[in-house]
């Protein structure tokens, strides 16, 4: 499934049904948590009219030839204007090359937003944030930012819709995407498999026939997005990059570290994608983590009086079989709950533990014939990001099985691993099997040699970006520091006051946590 903190953000969403992230999060959870939060710890910055000074930071060296960033590239200044969506926000556009190897060739548009820091003291710089996906809107995430005044008084908050996404030059593949997502993602008959194969091959086929879109398809990989991030840093006249990436946004951060390691001042990677894994490896890891999370969700029903499901595991399996035969009504004639909606609702609830009891209640209602609760959870996930961009970026970034027969063999392995979720998780990325653009993977751990300290945040219960990925990525970084959240849900920042305090201290003062530092939840609005 998508890898992104859920707006739902948010794969790598991977998840692929699940992911993040790295390649597949389907939605961005941090953004949704922030948007829904009513705590006073989430304070949006406002435009400051006070003249401030910038904390001294040395100028970054010119980019190396290996970075693929053209020397002496000069941006057209961003014309910042107030945004109508949110008081205090400013928006603008930055033109960047479609192909960074041809800097004077065709240009594309990046939609950028910011809040100017709200403090009267020294300004550290811009803090760039990305919610993940691929396909998550950075602008939507910015407008619901989880950062509090410890950060917003020191930094301008900046985000952007990455190439191919949202208000930037966008990938638009037409109505076949929705038709594919409506199909049973876990087919159990030859007819259903044939329908899914046809849907997978046609889902994104229109992309390649639209001249304005087809030229973009081979240039939406994460390395190009990392170069766009460098262009944004230059455009905002920041000497070094300050960056927080969630879920798939951690992959953007890692690729930036690979290309521009000495250009970083501070970087936080929360909900980490492991870049050494190909698409089957990523989805297999997500399948294991998501299955374990579903087991824990159902176990809370077993231990809770009044849950309404005497045997939650048996009830879930019976419901899965039931919707295969007859979709459930939702109260809306336009929507029913079939196999696809049940799978998506289940994954959607995993991203934040507050939705665990919501899922259990929805399952109880569904056993009585009412699918409205499951549809509400599923629609959260569907609304989180753009599937066309998600798939196009994932298929380009990740090595994957080519051809539907090879892909079916892979999904059969996931299904054997997890009868409840394996088919749905794997088949979300079935369009990759017949994708027209060859993949451009970078299956390597990033060392970031020459970078400053990098803070990696891992959640032991993360269903979309398993904790072992954070451990592996930290081991590869030359100056990586792992901060552990012993909790549930996808990503950690904005979920627990202990995590927030240590991340904020690092961003402001470059103070890294002690080795082995961890937080156990319960200290913030979403701690478990």
- The torsion region of residue 332 among left (phi > 0), alpha (psi -120 to 50) and beta comes to beta
* Residues 136 and 186 sit within 8 Å (Cβ to Cβ): no
81-82, strands of its sheet edge to edge? 81-82, 90-97, 107-115, 155-161, 125-130, 241-246, 264-270, 454-459, 480-485, 518-519
Residue 305: count other Cβ atoms within 10 Å of its Cβ. Answer: 4
Q: Which of 117, 355, 490, 492 is catalytic?
A: 490
Residue 445: count other Cβ atoms within 10 Å of its Cβ. Answer: 16
Query: Is 490 labeled as catalytic in the residue annotation?
Result: yes
* Residues 524 and 498 sit within 8 Å (Cβ to Cβ): yes
Backbone angles phi, psi at 68, to 5 degrees: 75, 10
User: For residue 397, what is the DSSP state?
Assistant: H
Residue 247, classed as helix, strand or coil, is: coil
Q: Which helix (H) or strand (E) holds 97?
A: strand 90-97
Gap between the Cα atoms of 158 and 70, Å rounded: 23
Query: Is 365 labeled as catalytic in the residue annotation?
Result: no
Any residues with CB less than 8 A from the CB of 49 and at least 6 apart, and which? none
* Residues 270 and 491 sit within 8 Å (Cβ to Cβ): yes
* Residues 393 and 331 sit within 8 Å (Cβ to Cβ): no
Q: Which of 137, 168, 247, 424 is catalytic?
A: 247
Q: What is the dihedral of CA 392, 393, 396, 397, to 10 degrees?
A: -160
* Residues 257 and 249 sit within 8 Å (Cβ to Cβ): no
Gap between the Cα atoms of 22 and 222, Å rounded: 10
Q: Which of 156, 397, 462, 500 is catalytic?
A: 462
Query: Is 355 labeled as catalytic in the residue annotation?
Result: no
Q: Give catalytic residue positions.
A: 247, 462, 490
């Amino acid at each position: 499934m998508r890898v992104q903190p859920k707006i739902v953000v948010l794969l790598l969403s991977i998840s692929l049904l699940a992911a993040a992230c790295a390649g597949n999060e389907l939605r961005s959870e941090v953004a949704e948590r922030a948007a829904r939060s009513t705590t006073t710890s989430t304070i949006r910055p406002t435009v400051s009219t006070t003249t401030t000074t910038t904390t001294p930071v040395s100028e970054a060296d010119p980019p190396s030839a290996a970075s693929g960033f053209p020397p002496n590239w000069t941006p057209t200044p961003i014309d910042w204007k107030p945004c109508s969506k949110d008081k205090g926000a400013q928006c603008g556009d930055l033109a960047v090359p479609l192909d960074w190897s041809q800097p004077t060739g065709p240009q594309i548009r990046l939609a950028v937003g910011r809040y100017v820091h709200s403090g009267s003291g020294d300004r550290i710089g811009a803090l760039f944030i990305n919610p993940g996906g691929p396909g998550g809107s950075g602008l939507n995430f910015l407008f619901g930012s989880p950062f509090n005044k410890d950060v917003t008084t020191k930094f301008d908050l900046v985000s952007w819709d990455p190439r191919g996404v949202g208000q930037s030059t966008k990938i638009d593949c037409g109505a076949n995407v929705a038709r594919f997502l409506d199909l049973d993602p876990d087919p159990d008959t030859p007819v259903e498999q044939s329908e899914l194969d046809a849907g997978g091959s046609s889902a994104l086929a229109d992309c390649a026939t639209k001249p304005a879109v087809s030229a973009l398809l081979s240039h939406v990989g994460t390395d190009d997005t990392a170069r766009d991030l460098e262009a944004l840093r230059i455009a905002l006249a920041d000497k070094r990059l300050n960056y927080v990436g969630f879920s798939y946004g951690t992959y953007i951060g890692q690729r930036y570290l690979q290309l521009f390691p000495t250009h970083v001042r501070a970087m936080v990677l929360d909900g980490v994608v492991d870049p050494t894994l190909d698409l089957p490896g990523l989805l297999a890891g997500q399948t294991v983590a998501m299955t374990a999370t579903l087991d824990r969700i159902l176990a809370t029903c077993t231990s809770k009086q009044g849950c309404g499901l005497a045997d939650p595991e048996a009830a879930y399996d019976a419901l899965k079989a039931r919707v295969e035969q007859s979709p459930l009504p939702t109260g809306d004639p336009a929507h029913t709950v079939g196999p696809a909606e049940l799978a998506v609702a289940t994954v959607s609830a995993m991203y934040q533990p507050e939705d665990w009891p919501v899922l259990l209640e929805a399952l109880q209602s569904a056993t009585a014939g009412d699918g409205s609760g499951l549809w509400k959870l599923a629609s959260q996930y569907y609304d989180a990001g753009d599937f066309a961009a998600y798939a196009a970026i994932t298929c380009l970034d990740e090595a994957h099985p080519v051809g539907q027969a090879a892909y079916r063999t892979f999904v059969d392995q996931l299904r054997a691993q997890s009868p409840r979720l394996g088919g749905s998780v794997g088949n979300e990325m079935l369009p990759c099997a017949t994708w027209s653009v060859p993949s451009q993977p970078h299956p390597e751990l990033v060392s970031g040699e020459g970078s400053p300290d990098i803070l990696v945040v891992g959640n032991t219960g993360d269903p979309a970006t398993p904790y072992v990925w954070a451990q592996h990525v930290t081991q590869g970084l030359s100056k990586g520091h792992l901060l552990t959240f012993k909790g549930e849900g996808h990503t950690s920042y904005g979920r627990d006051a202990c995590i927030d305090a240590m991340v904020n201290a690092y961003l402001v003062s470059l103070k890294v946590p002690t080795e082995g530092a961890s937080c156990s939840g319960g200290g913030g609005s979403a701690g478990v």
